[in-house]
Amino acid sequence: MPHHVVDIWWSDLRVMDRGLLPLLDPVEAARAAGLEGAADLGRFVVGAVLLRVAVGRTTGRDPWSVAVDRTCGDCGRPHGRPVVEGVHASVAHAGPLVLVATAACPIGVDVESARRGPDVAAWVRQEAAFKAHGSRDVAGLHVRPLVTPLPGHEAALALTRPGEVAVHDPAESSTALAAARAQASRSAR
């Protein structure tokens, strides 16, 4: 593949629905159960389900059979950045926004509220770099800003190789999550 495609999926808290909870794996369900606050729960659940949808689209696998390893490299608890076999992935959220990315090379994405301060554009670049290669140094990476679907936010993408970017907007994510939710309710019967 001369130009591998990076998939960027935007979503937001409006699609949060308790009907998505059955789509979580047991580790994710335990984490969700421990989250206080509707916004924290919504960001986590939408991010976790959208990650599986995105990986399924990229790899052609059944999203619900995809194993997601969230083991933290520091403490071993399941709150680390998600690792998926066969594809690189990154998840970020800020306020109502949820951002999921998949790529054929190590990738990092970050999104933050612009209210964090004047340096937020630089901050998201460094955070994306950290997720892509473990250092906030952007040297050697392909870093670019992402247009956010809501004003008042900054977002960035960092890749270890150049690649074409395909952006899936919140409407497309919403449709994909609604289909996933319908599938979950059918199989629960």
Residues that bind Zn ion (CB under 5 A): 72, 74-75, 77
CB 70 → Zn ion: shortest distance, Å?
A: 10
Both tokens of 172, joined, read 């497309």
> With respect to Zn ion, which residue has the nearer C-beta, 77 or 116?
77
Give strand pairing partners of 8: 101, 167
Buried-state track 71-88, b at ≥16 Cβ within 10 A, e below 16: eeeeeeebeebbebeebb
Report the run of H or E that residue 36 belongs to, with start and end.
none
CB 31 → Zn ion: shortest distance, Å?
A: 12
Nearest residue to the partner Zn ion, using Cβ: 72
CB 92 within 8 A of CB 111: yes
> With respect to Zn ion, which residue has the nearer C-beta, 81 or 142?
81
> With respect to Zn ion, which residue has the nearer C-beta, 80 or 106?
80
CB 79 → Zn ion: shortest distance, Å?
A: 6
> With respect to Zn ion, which residue has the nearer C-beta, 75 or 188?
75
CA-based nearest residue to 94, from 8, 177, 13, 7 = 13
